Amino acid sequence: MSGNPNTLYDAIAATWPAAQLHRAGPWIIRDGQGGGKRVSAATAEGPVQPADIQQAQRAMLDLGQRPLFLLRDGEADVDALLADVGYMTIDRTNLYQSPIADIATQQPPRTSMFCIWEPLQIQYDIWAAGGITAPRLAIMQRTNATKTSLFGRWNNRPAATGFVAIHAGIAMVHAVEVLAQQRGQKVASWLMRAAAFWAKEHGATRLAVLCTEANTAANSLYSSLGMTFSGQYHYRIQKES
């Protein structure tokens, strides 16, 4: 493992932000407005006692959200407290990063990869095909970080899209989606290289990305690019009754 995962956690929060943040005891409570786990999960920002879990639960229920917690490296004590009251682990997520210079080595083929803001309608269509709909698209609009969308064409047809934003010198890539019929042709690899060249032009020094531990294709892609595993997080959610 390389680098400080805390800098990556900060970059994730800044480039893929919740709609609102609330403090409740030792917790940061996120109002995700339907944008998924990353923008809806509570995180501990101080020592946690067993009674504090109920406080977080109430705060999330008041927002109309199912109680959900994000556990980062080094938070084993909080993780154990949640396990003790019936929260199960889901979606272990790997963090990868690399110096920009190690990825921005070969320009994509001409007229294949584009950095565009605002995204084109075809990009929204590609995201929708991958289950990335309005609440997640709102996150891209919400961030104040320097940002762009990524649009890939392959075989003279639309192929892929993604999103990248910069925080504290780290360019975080999110929401990479390749159309099913365009997979297996290194389109995502070229999209990541396009992100690296754009990020370099905008002052970033590192490129980072995350994917679930279970997503073997994405893990293989980022490893093949020479990106380094740099940390992990997971969620805990109550078991269905």
The answer to whether residues 77 and 224 touch, using CB atoms and an 8 Å cutoff, is no
Please state the pTM of the whole predicted model: 0.95
Sketch out the chain's domains with CATH numbers. 5-94+234-238 (no CATH), 97-231 (3.40.630.30)
* Token representation of residue 96: 């990868």
Higher pLDDT, 2 or 121: 121
Model confidence pLDDT, tens digit, residues 141-153? 999 999 999 999 9
Model confidence pLDDT, tens digit, residues 6-37? 899 999 999 999 999 999 999 999 999 999 99
Model confidence pLDDT, tens digit, residues 68-125? 999 999 999 999 999 999 999 999 999 999 999 999 999 999 999 999 999 999 999 9
Q: Mean pLDDT throughout 179-190?
A: 97
State the burial class of residue 224 (Cβ atoms within 10 Å of its Cβ: 0-12, 13-18, 19+): exposed
pLDDT at 1 over 50: no
Q: Any bridge partners for residue 210, and if so which?
A: 95
